[in-house]
Amino acid sequence: MISHGNSYGDNDGDNTLAAPSEPEVTGSHVVVFTEGGNRTDAAQTLRDVAGLSDVARSTEFESSAMDLAETQAADAVVFDELGIAVVTAAPDQLAALQEAAATDGRVLSIEPELMHYALSVGTDPRVEAEAAGFSDTADFTWGLQATKVTASACGGSGVKVAVLDTGFDMAHPDFEGRAITAQSFVPGAAAHDGHGHGTHCIGTACGPKSPSITRRYGVAHQAEIFVGKVLSDQGRGADRSILAGIEWAIVNGCQVISMSLGANVEAVSVAYETVGSRALASGSLIVAAAGNNANRASGQMGFVGPPANSPSIMAVAAVDGALGLANFSARSNPVIGGQIDVAGPGVGVFSTVPVPTRYGSKSGTSMATPHVAGIAALWCEATGRRGTDLWSVLTQQARRLLLPSLDVGSGLIQAPA
């Protein structure tokens, strides 16, 4: 993989890098193979079309847990379940692939590989002050109250939830005894969370019902947790890491995949739209953060970027405790799939962070997304629905808000009784 340094600073004091306003690419390309073409033999297609001889495949790794550190010298890595590859090609090889996309019928698209970022905005007190309606109590966070998780009889039993992020602090005492499978897709890094973003998101999606020393903050307390580290300890990661994590989650039968990450690009990615469609067909629902590129107070509404702007991936906006829109939450943009689908609590969200600190509050569409993922697990348990059917029940049961659907879609996500 071509590695790029960056000059983006920590914007909130919690080791989070701000997503750059301009797209950042790696120099490699994401190749999508057609269903009717050669999806099932993508490696051979790359050899035939572009002469790429050193091709690594996800099926060479147990449960598709691809170690990207072992593939760094390869010309291409193929994610067999997804029917997608990331290639590092010479100009003539890239031209051959582009010619194939136009005429061959086996290649659907070729896109530059992007860098994505964790989408939190830290603990800015100006953002915290926006919350005024629901508030945390000694027993529950405001987000669990607003989404009626506190009254739900479900806990996500029998449901697998994958959170693809910066990893997880496996030593956190609140998760002792829980079924957790962890895998890193960041070359050279363990699945441990050296950032904090991933631990916070997992706490919201799957935290315990009765933590011993603080209020309840987690939704699907009985779900089986799959931790996929796809972002570095600086909160950034390339498409190949994210695609590897999605494939691993699908192969392991995860019904819900949560991704609090994105890039500031308006165009829909054919790759992520294809991945979202193939995930739904496999019974996996992907939910993703809409993005934090708005500054509504100054008239900037922002836009939904990839992967959330794919029609087959559920895009999540953020509201505050007064059920008003968060200042940073991106608005729908006029591309197919660029709309907000639902909203979740995303301002002043209390959850887990790595020990020894243990707990903290963050804001962002990143924090709204695991609320939706956890509640999707509750509905999966309650109804047995998966994939597109699960998507439908989530939007049908959402609470309508006095806000434009451009900003909150079907409304605030709600848990089953």
* pLDDT per position as a tens digit, 242-296: 999 999 999 999 999 999 999 989 989 999 999 999 999 999 999 999 999 999 9
| For residue 155, pLDDT beyond 60 | yes
Q: Is residue 341 scored above 90 in pLDDT?
A: yes
Q: How confident is the model at residue 8 (pLDDT cuts 50, 70, 90)?
A: very low
Tokens (6 digits) for 102: 């136009």
- Reference 313, options 335, 284, 292; nearest CA is 284
- pLDDT at 105 (0 to 100): 82
Burial of 34 (0-12, 13-18, 19+ CB in 10 A): middle
pTM here?
0.88
Closest CA to 253 of 162, 154, 371: 162
- pLDDT per position as a tens digit, 120-146: 665 544 444 444 489 999 999 999 999
**pLDDT of 224 over the 50 cut:** yes
Taking residues 185-210, report their average pLDDT.
Answer: 96
Residues 400, 408: Cα–Cα separation, whole Å: 9
Tokens coding 97: 């692939």
Return the higher-pLDDT residue of 104 and 207: 207
Contacts of 273 (CB under 8 A, 6+ apart): 310, 311, 312, 313, 337
Strand, coil or helix: 59 = helix
pLDDT at residue 40, rounded to an integer: 62
**Alpha helical stretches, state H, 252-339:** 270-281
H or E segment and range at residue 347: none
Report which of residues 8 and 337 the model is more confident about.
Answer: 337
Residues marked active site are found at 165, 197, 366
pLDDT, the chain, mean: 90
For residue 407, pLDDT over 90 is answered with yes
Q: Which of 112-126, 140-154, 392-406 has the lowest mean pLDDT?
A: 112-126
Q: Is the pLDDT of residue 344 over 70?
A: yes
* pLDDT of 398: 97
pLDDT at res. 121: 66
Q: How large is the average pLDDT for residues 189-209? A: 97
pLDDT at residue 12, as a whole number = 36
108 and 270 Cβ atoms separated by less than 8 Å: yes
- Note the pLDDT tens digit of each residue in 306-337: 999 999 999 999 999 999 999 999 999 888 87
pLDDT in tens, 363-376: 999 999 999 999 99
User: How many whole angstroms separate alpha carbon 253 and alpha carbon 272?
Assistant: 19
What whole-number distance in Å separates Cα of residue 170 and Cα of residue 192? 7
Across the range 58-66, mean pLDDT stands at 90
Tell me the percentage of the chain whose pLDDT exceeds 70.
91
| Amino acid (one-letter) located at 302 | G
Residue type, 127: V
- pLDDT 10s digits, 19-45: 666 778 899 999 999 876 445 688 888
